[in-house]
Amino acid sequence: MLGEFGRIERFLRPLAVGCPGALNLTDDAAVLSVPPEHELVVTTDAMVAGVHFFPDDRPDDIAAKLLRVNLSDLAAMGAAPFAYTLMLSLPRTLDEHWLAGFCAGLEADQARYGISLAGGDSVSTRGPITVAITALGVVPCGRALTRQVSGPADRVAGQRVFVTGTIGDAALALALALGDLSPEPPLSAAAVAALTTRLRRPEPRLTLGVALRGLATAAIDISDGLTADLGHIAEVTGCTAFIEWARLPLSETVRTLVDRHPALLASVVSGGDDYELVFTAPPEARAVLAALAVEQGVAITEIGWLEFGSPGRVDILDQNGQPLTLTRRGWNHFTDAEPPTSGAV
Amino acid sequence: MLGEFGRIERFLRPLAVGCPGALNLTDDAAVLSVPPEHELVVTTDAMVAGVHFFPDDRPDDIAAKLLRVNLSDLAAMGAAPFAYTLMLSLPRTLDEHWLAGFCAGLEADQARYGISLAGGDSVSTRGPITVAITALGVVPCGRALTRQVSGPADRVAGQRVFVTGTIGDAALALALALGDLSPEPPLSAAAVAALTTRLRRPEPRLTLGVALRGLATAAIDISDGLTADLGHIAEVTGCTAFIEWARLPLSETVRTLVDRHPALLASVVSGGDDYELVFTAPPEARAVLAALAVEQGVAITEIGWLEFGSPGRVDILDQNGQPLTLTRRGWNHFTDAEPPTSGAV
């Protein structure tokens, strides 16, 4: 069995080759040059076995998800990937195949998203596998997207709400995996696989986030659920968000399931792990957003609007414009039953 | 009991007040402006209950140590503290007094070292308390200290080895705490308290690290033990380091114990957690280093030199210039018994 330095040499050092400032992982810290006229964007997300993923999930899937949930936070700020550090707290009994698989997952995604390992720490634990990444991104000075719509009141209140891709896939994949959802007739294997990929390999909307600089007036990624995350924009902006249920972009599988089991609507709008972007923009941005969606091959759907008052409230409206009642508003760590989801500090 | 957002509001948000780019911990990520003409220095260190600290250690001590071991890595690079992110993986059963104490420890040290919280993640676990910090520092471009002495061969081989403060205190404090060391006559309560403070509240040599820019030719902090950490400098520089045992700076308590139990010498030179700096400099730097030691009130002691050959070897020489044989060369995670120490990737 390799010692700590042997593991670093074999599995982690190759991940740092693309980052000269990582100093080959031989020094106390990395030394990085942020491009001139850019700001640094920093986020940390952790995942724990049995809380954020199933202990027997493939290690490359766990690695990919860990990196992607961090990159999704960069996307929501309009930042481009720059570098990341890795924290591994691993049971002593874990074999090296696990670490090899985990690092293979990181390696593939480093190439996919153009980011490299800058440093980190590996420790042993008697508890469950716990992994964390601190991702660094860069954005031209003053151009980061935030959660707060700023500007004159009449402009803020006129904002429309948009979402990328489709929502609810990850939440229903989780419900299937947990056995909470057993549709009759059963879904096809292909449909289950597609949903599961959304849960295990979310797609951080990085290039779209960069393109939304100066176009979106506020943005957030959907990690805790559409209503919870849009609620953050609504809260800091002093608004209620109104969402028209009929406009929500759903995959064919999710639409079929919700049509059959309307109670699943709650999971679709409040389940986490979609990692799509929800953002606001003025109505006059519609044409540019439509062109952007075509250019990037990612759906951008207008789903509602903001109105002043009851800060943080999110109302889902039915076909008649009446608010629907939901049973939960996204997960909240420490108080709910443990869900496989993550929440930023 | 507060939920996740309540905990952030009450305990973590106050830690971010000094960091405007933290956006009050309400956004997906922090947005930070690295000063012009400076590079970013990044390090991550984690600690696990039962591995790096005793589960019943005071939470403010745990927090202080976590922040300080990260700051010590910045010090070893000659970087000034800039900001940090925090990863908390806490048992659901942990009460809020623990978190309050932990954050109080961070708050006191933030003021002491001039750094603020920029963001992070808090998750729950069924395992032991696991905490990590990613510390960001800044250093003028091209001025970071590294572990490698560079330059012409005759210059490298002429380098002298220096160490700050005293070494061995933390290792003997740990041996006392574990019951591995029971000196007769017993140490005074004051002596035990002084040793224990070195273990629990190491002093990152930040201002000294900054002053060593352009003066030290290589530097590292002692986290895994003098021989292991100096061995890293020796290895990347292609040298053997020779250390004269009689020149090692020891506190009065450590000197008394070693005089009585010579076997403790191994713990002094190979035990971790001192967080002093060990660095190389040419002989002509002696006078400047002596003045610096007086100015900063920190001992700087010349303890040996580098010679080409057997890269990574560290020989401790007795009064007659003969190498001493030691039983271990510092801790190495994943293969040794679990020690309360930390090793950077």
pLDDT at B72: 98
Band of pLDDT at residue B126, cut at 50, 70 and 90: very high
8 Å CB contact of B132 and A87: yes
B22 touches chain A (CB under 8 A): no
Would you tell me which residues 195-234 of chain B have a C-beta closer than 8 angstroms to some C-beta of chain A? Answer: 220-221, 232
Cα(A109)–Cα(A80) distance, rounded to whole angstroms?
15
What's the ipTM?
A: 0.92
Task: Please compute, for residue B165, the number of CA atoms within 13 A of its CA located in the half-sphere on the CB side.
Answer: 23
Q: Which residues pair with B137 in a beta bridge?
A: B41, B81
8 Å CB contact of A42 and B52: no
Residues of B within 8 A of A89 (CB-CB) are 46, 48, 89, 130
8 Å CB contact of B335 and A85: no
Q: Identify which of B344, B272, B177 has the alpha carbon closest to the alpha carbon of residue A25.
A: B344
Q: Could you please state the CATH topology (level 3) that the domain comprising B153-317 is classified under.
A: Phosphoribosyl-aminoimidazole Synthetase; Chain A, domain 2 (3.90.650)
Cα(A123)–Cα(A10) distance, rounded to whole angstroms?
16
Query: Does A232 have pLDDT greater than 50?
Result: yes
Least confident of A252-256, B16-20, B225-229, B335-339: B335-339
Residues of B within 8 A of A80 (CB-CB) are none
Q: Which residues pair with A298 in a beta bridge?
A: none
B344 touches chain A (CB under 8 A): yes
Cα(B246)–Cα(B254) distance, rounded to whole angstroms?
13
8 Å CB contact of A121 and B48: no
Whole-angstrom CA distances from B176 to A164, B48, B76, B262 are 59, 20, 28, 16
Side-by-side strand order, sheet with B130-140: A30-32, B38-48, B130-140, B80-91, B117-125
The sign one gets for the Cα dihedral B95, B101, B106, B107 is: positive
Would you tell me which residues 252-281 of chain B have a C-beta closer than 8 angstroms to some C-beta of chain A? Answer: none
Query: Does A342 have pLDDT greater than 90?
Result: no
DSSP A159-180: -EEEEES-SSHHHHHHHHHHTS
For residue A82, give how far its alpha carbon lies from the nearest alpha carbon of chain B (Å).
12
Cα(A325)–Cα(B124) distance, rounded to whole angstroms?
29
B149 touches chain A (CB under 8 A): no
Band of pLDDT at residue B327, cut at 50, 70 and 90: low
The tens digit of pLDDT for each residue in A74-91 reads 999 999 999 999 999 999
8 Å CB contact of A333 and B4: yes
The tens digit of pLDDT for each residue in A18-62 reads 999 999 898 889 999 999 999 999 999 999 999 999 999 999 999
Chain A residue whose CA is closest to B9: A345
Instruction: Determine contact, residues A250/A168, Cβ cutoff 8 Å.
Output: yes
Chain B residue whose CA is closest to A41: B31
Q: For the residues A190-197, what does the mean pLDDT come to?
A: 96
Chain B residue whose CA is closest to A124: B334
| Interface with chain B: mutation pick from A8, A37, A41, A42, highest number of B CBs within 10 Å | A42
| Interface with chain B: mutation pick from A23, A24, A25, A44, highest number of B CBs within 10 Å | A44
Quick one: what percent of chain A has pLDDT higher than 70?
94
Instruction: Determine contact, residues B47/B65, Cβ cutoff 8 Å.
Output: yes
8 Å CB contact of A121 and B27: no
What is the end-to-end Cα distance of chain B in Å, rounded? 37
Instruction: Determine contact, residues B113/B67, Cβ cutoff 8 Å.
Output: yes
Structure tokens at A160: 């429309």
Q: For the residues B148-177, what does the mean pLDDT come to?
A: 91
Residues of B within 8 A of A32 (CB-CB) are 39-42
Chain B residue whose CA is closest to A49: B125
Pure H helices in chain B: 4-7, 59-76, 96-113, 153-157, 169-178, 189-200, 206-211, 226-237, 252-260, 265-270, 286-296
Would you tell me which residues 81-140 of chain A have a C-beta closer than 8 angstroms to some C-beta of chain B? Answer: 83, 85-89, 92, 118-128, 130, 132, 134-137, 139
Identical topology for domains A4-140 and A153-317: no
Chain B residue whose CA is closest to A22: B42
pLDDT at A302: 98
Band of pLDDT at residue A306, cut at 50, 70 and 90: very high
8 Å CB contact of A29 and B332: no
B12 touches chain A (CB under 8 A): yes
pLDDT at A336: 35
Degrees to nearest 5, angle at CA B99 with B97 and B103? 115
Cα(A140)–Cα(A280) distance, rounded to whole angstroms?
20
8 Å CB contact of B134 and A27: no
Q: What is the mean pLDDT of chain A?
A: 91
Q: What is the mean pLDDT of chain B?
A: 91
8 Å CB contact of A76 and B32: no
Whole-angstrom CA distances from B192 to B56, B180, B256 are 18, 14, 13
Q: How far is residue B50 CA from its own chain's centroid? A: 19
8 Å CB contact of A51 and B124: yes
Instruction: Determine contact, residues A220/A278, Cβ cutoff 8 Å.
Output: yes
For residue B198, give how far its alpha carbon lies from the nearest alpha carbon of chain A (Å).
21
Chain A residue whose CA is closest to B11: A345
For residue A163, give how far its alpha carbon lies from the nearest alpha carbon of chain B (Å).
16
Query: Does A343 have pLDDT greater than 50?
Result: no
Query: Does A326 have pLDDT greater than 70?
Result: no
Band of pLDDT at residue B153, cut at 50, 70 and 90: confident
Decide: pTM greater than 0.95.
no
Chain B residue whose CA is closest to A223: B28
The residue among A162 and A1 whose pLDDT is bigger is A162
Residues of B within 8 A of A147 (CB-CB) are 26-28
The residue assigned the tokens 């740092």 is A16
Residues of B within 8 A of A26 (CB-CB) are 147-148, 232, 236
Does domain B4-140 fall into CATH 1.10.1040.10? no
Residues of A within 8 A of B343 (CB-CB) are 4, 121-123
Cα(B19)–Cα(B234) distance, rounded to whole angstroms?
38
Q: Identify which of B122, B101, B104, B124 has the alpha carbon closest to the alpha carbon of residue B112.
A: B104
Q: With left for phi above 0 and alpha for psi between -120 and 50, is residue B40 left, alpha or beta? A: beta
Band of pLDDT at residue B156, cut at 50, 70 and 90: confident
| Interface with chain A: mutation pick from B334, B335, B336, B338, highest number of A CBs within 10 Å | B334
For residue A10, give how far its alpha carbon lies from the nearest alpha carbon of chain B (Å).
12
8 Å CB contact of A335 and B3: yes
Band of pLDDT at residue B326, cut at 50, 70 and 90: low
Residue B140 DSSP symbol: E
pLDDT at B328: 47
Which of A51, A73, A338 is opposite residue B29, by nearest beta carbon? A73
Q: For the residues B188-206, what does the mean pLDDT come to?
A: 96
pLDDT at A328: 47
The residue among B7 and A312 whose pLDDT is bigger is A312
Residues of A within 8 A of B92 (CB-CB) are 334, 338
The tens digit of pLDDT for each residue in A129-138 reads 999 999 999 9
For residue A266, give how far its alpha carbon lies from the nearest alpha carbon of chain B (Å).
21
8 Å CB contact of A130 and B134: no
pLDDT at A337: 37
| Interface with chain A: mutation pick from B9, B24, B31, B94, highest number of A CBs within 10 Å | B31
Query: Does A327 have pLDDT greater than 80?
Result: no
Cα(A169)–Cα(A179) distance, rounded to whole angstroms?
15
Domain boundaries, chain A: 4-140, 153-317
Kindly report the backbone phi and psi dihedral angles of residue B301, in degrees, each rounded to the nearest multiple of 5, phi listed first. Answer: -120, 130
8 Å CB contact of A41 and B31: yes
Least confident of B147-161, B226-240, B292-306: B147-161
Query: Does B330 have pLDDT greater than 80?
Result: no
Quick one: what percent of chain A has pLDDT higher than 90?
82
Beta carbon pairs, A and B, within 8 Å: 274
